[in-house]
């Protein structure tokens, strides 16, 4: 029947509701017991759209713009585009298999384990779904755990080359399987099915419609477009200031410097340890005079010895365990995570952070451990304010970012950005800049980051970055590692944020008898002058190149804010009619005018580059012009990343030429 501009079907206690949700999109919800919740989860409310609902004896249909859904007498849902071509169909197998498309398996406490199956086109290409450490851009054939881990972020939206986008709007722990024979989604615990399908002409149209449904990113502040310096970890105020002074003395612009973890007395104190950082106001003031903003690391871990532990425990602001010891992780000392899904806990943390950081001049926050990173990922053992982790766990990083976004907004900040180590659908609207976690210092890892960043862009996370050189160790005196760092730096220059971070050799243990933040170890030097003279000159030149590109990148950030276009994106985003680009995964566009082809192998001094059809391209290194639809072998000496400018764009080759 038609109800409130939606199509509903009730049969044997199952309620199916299909309704318009934004432009060319339909939201599908199914409850096995006839009661739908009012939760929107990743979605934001949309203006009312008039849909067309038609019902006959055998089936019923609903149309919203280009998107049409038909539900037949057996309850099977099929989706069509504006030309009547089928793009997605539930896999209901009646005889002889008798397998349902939607299977709710009852659990205790009124929840269900849910499995939803769709028919699969074996030639379909699928992109998005978040960040996975694997060498695949096209996810067809992949099985993905829908759960957060260090370096893994489940953002369950994808775009298909068949002309649709799909959001799994359930924050439960689960699994997505994109097999040749079937596409299947599984939620470990939920009360209902909830997904969104968008049907439109191009990937860009689909992405823009999706971002309007989950919320676009704020405008990125201008200072954030420059170079960010970080390492594990600056141990005290003078050490951090000396690094910033070092950039100033060398005449190298430094936009942000990061004060990493264990600058605090105890995890969960949310303040500086004044034995090591005696005058934060003076520190932030001197940095700002040098044109540098300070970013401070915040962890969601609450150590049992923290000055805030008892109050947070009494008020129910900590994640609970349903069984076993009350201990979630151990980094120097045992600790538990605060419950970011609890509005009261978010306010408590922000109020403490405001008093101890913001009021002392800190405006930027690094929200680490945002999955959160349990010592044991025993998901169904952890209970949040919003429900059991198995049911709602993937929403944690959204709420973590939300708390800081709303706190900063309440004190008058407008262009809000937080560095976060995880995300779910809808994180972008809270100013989440996601980085790819504690990845390895190898060319294999660099290869993975290229694909991961592009899939994150499609999944709706336009602000994304990596630890240049990889996080976990790496020796700046090793020639091979120096080359990796240079190539990674070149690649990062053409990512949304250019940020150097990592835990470098040599390992420096904590001082004997140290207290508070001094109890944590430290890594070796990780500044651009730490990797030898040749690497220094190359990285310095790329920082200045980034400065010259700021107006172009700022325009891309404006497009992300106003339209939902990700700054970096796969070639098919801008050239969907060129069938070859759908299979290219080591080149990408930074905006519509700049093609980037990073060097991803040790010792490589050239690489094969395909230039998309329909445009002419100018090679930055040589000035040579090439027709689109052709391939070239681009030279790539150590100081060069292959770049091609779309002919006729406002972006000129002179911008890329090193200033004398």
Displacement of CA 575 from its chain's centroid (Å): 23
Residues sharing a CB contact under 8 Å with residue 376, sequence separation 6 or more, in sequence order: none
591 DSSP assignment: T
Is residue 239 part of the annotated active site? The answer reads no
- The per-residue b/e assignment along 43-56, b for 16 or more CB within 10 angstroms, e otherwise, is beebeeeebebeee
pLDDT of 659? 63
Q: What is the pTM of this model?
A: 0.98
CB 474 within 8 A of CB 440: no
- Report the candidate in 153, 198, 48, 230 with the shortest Cα–Cα distance to residue 463: 153
Return the residue matching tokens 């949700």: 21
- Structural tokens at position 392: 């709602």
The residues facing 9 across adjacent strands are: 16
Which secondary-structure segment (H or E) carries 221? none
Could you write out the three-class secondary structure of 504-557? Answer: CCCCECCCCCCCHHHHCCECCCCCHHHHCHHHHHHHHHHHHHHHHHHHHHHHHH
Quote the CATH superfamily of domain 570-656: Golgi alpha-mannosidase II (2.60.40.1180)
For domain 222-562, give the fold. Answer: TIM Barrel (3.20.20)
Two tokens, residue 634 = 């681009």
Q: Which of 19, 371, 483, 565 is catalytic?
A: 371
| Burial per residue of 309-345, b for 16 or more beta-carbon CB atoms within 10 angstroms, e otherwise | beebeeeebbbebeeeeeebbebbebbbbbbbbbeeb
**Domain 2-199, classified CATH 2.60.40.1760, yes or no:** yes
Give CA separation, 49 vs 20, 21, 576, in Å.
6, 7, 28
Active site residue 438: yes
- Helix, strand, or coil (residue 500): strand
Among the listed residues 8, 368, 448, 615, the single catalytic one is 368
Q: b or e along 526-565 (b: 16 or more beta carbons within 10 Å of the residue's beta carbon)? A: bbbbbbeeebbebbbebbebbeebeebbeebbebbbeebb
Q: Contact, 423 vs 394, CB < 8 A?
A: no
The continuous run of DSSP H or E covering 598 comes out as none
Instruction: Count CB neighbours of 628 within 10 A.
Output: 17
Annotated catalytic residue, options 438, 537, 541, 606: 438
How many Å apart are CA 597 and CA 491, to the nearest integer?
Answer: 8
Coil, strand, or helix at residue 558?
Answer: helix
pLDDT in tens, 304-329: 999 999 999 999 999 999 998 888 99
Residues of the chain with pLDDT under 50: 660
Task: Mention every residue, 6+ apart, whose C-beta is less than 8 A from residue 513.
Answer: none
- In the chain, domain spans: 2-199, 222-562, 570-656
Q: Do domains 2-199 and 570-656 have the same CATH topology?
A: yes
Cα separation of 452 and 470, whole Å?
14
Pairwise CA distance, residues 592 & 603, whole Å: 30
- State how beta strands 333-337 and 164-168 pair: unpaired
pLDDT at position 660: 42
DSSP 568-580: EE-HHHH-TT-GG
């Amino acid at each position: 029947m038609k109800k409130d501009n939606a199509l509903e079907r009730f049969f044997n206690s199952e309620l199916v509701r299909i309704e318009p949700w934004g432009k060319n999109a339909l939201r599908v919800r199914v409850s096995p017991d006839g009661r739908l919740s009012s939760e929107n989860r990743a979605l934001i409310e949309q203006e009312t759209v008039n849909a067309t609902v038609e019902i006959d004896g055998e089936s019923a249909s609903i149309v919203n713009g280009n998107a049409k859904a038909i539900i037949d007498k057996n309850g099977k849902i099929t989706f069509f585009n504006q030309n009547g071509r089928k793009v997605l169909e539930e896999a209901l197998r009646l005889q002889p298999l008798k397998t349902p498309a939607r299977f709710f398996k009852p659990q205790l406490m009124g929840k269900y384990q849910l499995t939803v199956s769709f028919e699969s086109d074996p030639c379909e290409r699928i992109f998005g779904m978040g960040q996975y450490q694997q060498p695949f851009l096209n996810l067809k054939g992949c099985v993905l755990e829908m759960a957060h881990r260090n370096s893994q972020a489940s953002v369950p939206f994808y775009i298909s080359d068949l002309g649709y986008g799909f959001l799994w709007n359930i924050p439960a722990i689960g699994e997505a399987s994109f097999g040749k024979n079937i596409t299947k989604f599984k939620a470990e615990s939920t009360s209902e099915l909830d997904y969104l399908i968008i049907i439109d002409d191009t990937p860009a149209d689909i992405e823009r419609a999706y971002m309007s449904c989950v919320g676009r990113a704020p405008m990125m502040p201008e200072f954030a477009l420059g170079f960010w310096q970080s390492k594990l970890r600056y141990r005290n105020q003078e050490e951090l200031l000396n690094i910033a002074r070092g950039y100033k003395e060398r005449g190298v612009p430094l936009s942000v410097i990061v004060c990493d973890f264990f600058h605090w007395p105890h995890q969960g104190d949310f303040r500086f340890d004044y034995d090591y950082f005696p005058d934060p106001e003076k520190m932030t003031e001197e940095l700002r005079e040098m044109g540098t903003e300070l970013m401070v690391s915040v962890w969601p871990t609450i150590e049992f010895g923290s000055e805030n532990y008892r109050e947070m425990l009494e008020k129910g602001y900590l994640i609970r365990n349903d069984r076993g010891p009350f201990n979630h992780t151990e980094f120097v000392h045992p600790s538990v995570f605060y419950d970011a899904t609890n509005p009261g806990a978010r306010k408590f943390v922000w109020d403490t952070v405001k008093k101890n950081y913001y009021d002392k001049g800190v405006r930027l926050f690094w929200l680490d451990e945002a999955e959160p990173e349990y010592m044991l990922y025993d998901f169904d053992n952890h209970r949040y304010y919003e429900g059991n982790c198995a049911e709602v766990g993937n929403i944690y990083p959204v709420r973590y970012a939300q708390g800081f976004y709303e706190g900063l907004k309440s004190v008058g900040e407008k262009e809000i950005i937080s560095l976060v180590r995880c995300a779910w659908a809808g994180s972008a609207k809270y100013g989440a800049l996601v980085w790819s976690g504690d990845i390895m210092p190898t060319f294999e890892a660099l290869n993975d980051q290229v694909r991961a960043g592009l899939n994150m862009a499609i999944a709706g996370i336009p602000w994304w970055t990596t630890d240049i050189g990889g996080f976990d160790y790496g020796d700046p005196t090793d020639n091979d590692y120096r080359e990796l760092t240079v190539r990674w730096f070149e690649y990062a220059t053409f990512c949304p944020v250019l940020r150097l971070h990592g835990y470098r050799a040599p390992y420096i243990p904590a001082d004997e008898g140290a207290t508070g933040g001094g109890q944590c170890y430290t890594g070796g030097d990780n500044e651009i002058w730490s990797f030898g003279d040749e690497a220094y000159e190359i990285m310095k030149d790329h920082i200045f190149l980034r400065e010259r590109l700021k107006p172009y990148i700022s325009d891309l950030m404006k497009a992300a804010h106003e339209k939902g276009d990700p700054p970096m994106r796969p070639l098919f985003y801008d050239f969907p009619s060129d069938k070859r680009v759908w299979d290219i995964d080591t080149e990408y566009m930074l905006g519509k005018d700049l093609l980037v082809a990073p060097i991803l192998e040790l010792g490589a001094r050239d690489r094969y580059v395909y230039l998309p059809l329909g445009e002419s391209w100018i090679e930055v290194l040589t000035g040579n012009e090439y027709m689109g639809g052709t391939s070239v072998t681009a030279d790539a000496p150590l100081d060069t990343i292959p770049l091609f400018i779309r002919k006729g764009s406002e972006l000129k080759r002179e911008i890329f030429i090193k200033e004398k």
